[in-house]
Amino acid sequence: MNEQAIPAQGHPLLEARGVHKAYRRGAHRVEVLRGVDLAVVPGEFVAVVGQSGSGKSTLLHLLGTLDVPDQGQILFRGRRVDNVSARTRDRLRNASIGMVFQFYHLLPELTLLENVLCPWMIRYGPWAYWRRRRELESHARELLARLGLGHRLYHRPKELSGGEMQRGAIARALITQPELLLADEPTGNLDSRTGGEILRLLASLHREQGLTIVMVTHDPQVAAAADRVVQLQDGRVLAADQPAAMRAAG
């Protein structure tokens, strides 16, 4: 498994190689992931499906460098990211990975606009941020307007509907223009119509901007929006799930 083995044009953006993860609960270990292999090429929209408790969220957290595997490797743009310093991973998350969660996870004390600006505020110190705030703010406004939230800029999350919050969360994930978007049940908490809207939004982002998306869901119908569906069972990925580009190359 070295880098030469992978054809240049199919160079995966994100890769999991033999990832194991177990949680210790009291005396016994719960083996959640037992050797997951997954590769996502740039511009792909992958859905990860599996039963509740099958380890989808766990896998997504590992892919998003929020946690480190017990065994195996996670590679981003061909570089290992599971064994680097916490600081490097923080920086990578901030710059290159956007994340969307089932429960939106907006900060309740901040307005929608401030929530969207959060990744920038985390990246820049007060002085640097203050200097660029006009540019950054107008960018955030534009993005929110594009997502149909132009009239909700100064609302607190609790004044927004679920769909609006999730769109806000997507805006926050996209504000730094990451290459990769990780979504954990983005429609899980929404009714089917609003969920559909969110899905269409993700699909259009993927189509029009070539955004690479990994979406976790337990709903096959939702998964259908993706290019490729990966089945997670017994801590492993079920067969025949090579990325289309790699399949073509291999």
Partner 1 sequence: MYKFLLCWRYLKARWIALASIVSVTLGVATMIVVNAVMSGFQHEMHVRLKGILADVIIESRSFEGLPDPEAHLALIRRHVGQEVESATVSVHVPAMLSFQVGGRWITRPVTLIGIDPATCASTCRFAEYLQHPANRSRVSFQLHEGGYYTRDPEGGEKAGVRRGMDLAGWPWRRWRARQRLSAAQGTSPLEGQAKKPQGNEQSSSRDLVHLELSAAQLRQSGTSAQAAAALYESLLKQMGYRLVEKQISPQGDLELLAAPGVGGADEQSLPQDPFAAAGQQEQKTFDPAREQYTGCILGMAIASVRRSDGSEDFLLLPGDDVKLTLPTAGTPPKAVTETFTVVDFYASKMSEYDANFVFVPIDKLQELRGMLDPETGTRYVSSIQLKLRDPSKAAQVRDRLRKVFSSTYYVVQTWRDRQGPLLAAVQMETAILNVLLFLIIAVAGFGILAIFFMIVVEKTRDIGILKALGAHSTGVLGVFLGYGLSLGMVGAGAGLALGLLFVHYLNQIADGLGRLTGHRVFDPSIYYFYEIPTLVDVWTVAWIVLGALAIAVLASVWPATRAARLRVVEALRYE
195 with 219: CB under 8 angstroms? Answer: no
How do 45-49 and 79-80 pair as beta strands? unpaired
Task: In angstroms, give the least distance from the CB of 113 to partner 1.
Answer: 11
CA distance 248 to 243: 9
Identify which range of 22-30, 85-93, 169-177, 221-229 contacts ligand ATP by CB under 6 A: 22-30
Query: CB of 95 within 8 A of CB of 178?
Result: yes
Which residue from 11, 20, 77, 123 is in contact with partner 1, where contact means CB under 8 A?
Answer: 123
121 binds partner 1 (CB under 8 A): yes
How is residue 179 written in tokens? 């290459």
The radius of gyration of the chain's CA atoms, rounded to the nearest angstrom, is: 18
Which CB atom, from 224 or from 248, has the smaller least distance to ligand ATP?
Answer: 224
Q: For residues 56-85, which are near partner 1 according to CB under 8 A?
A: 58, 61, 64, 66-67
All residues at 6 or more sequence positions from 239 whose CB lies less than 8 Å from its CB, including other chains: none
User: Position 86: which residue type?
Assistant: A
Quick check: 55 binds ligand ATP (CB under 6 A)?
Answer: yes
Q: In what order do the strands lie in the sheet with 79-80?
A: 28-40, 14-25, 71-76, 79-80
Site map for ligand ATP, 201-230, x if CB under 6 A? Answer: -----------------x------------
Residue of 73, 1, 10, 21 whose CA lies nearest to 236: 21
By CB under 6 A, residue 32 contacts ligand ATP? yes
> Closest CB to Mg ion among 101 and 120?
101
Q: Which residue is nearest to Mg ion (CB)?
A: 57
Window contacting partner 1 (CB under 8 A); options: 70-78, 115-123, 202-210, 224-232:
115-123
Please name the amino acid found at residue 79. R
Structure tokens at 122: 């985390």
223 binds, among ligand ATP, partner 1, Mg ion, none (CB under 5 to 8 A by kind): none
Residues that bind partner 1 (CB under 8 A): 58, 61, 64, 66-67, 86-87, 90-95, 99, 101, 105-110, 114, 118-126, 129-130, 172
Residues that bind ligand ATP (CB under 6 A): 23, 25, 30, 32, 50, 52-58, 218
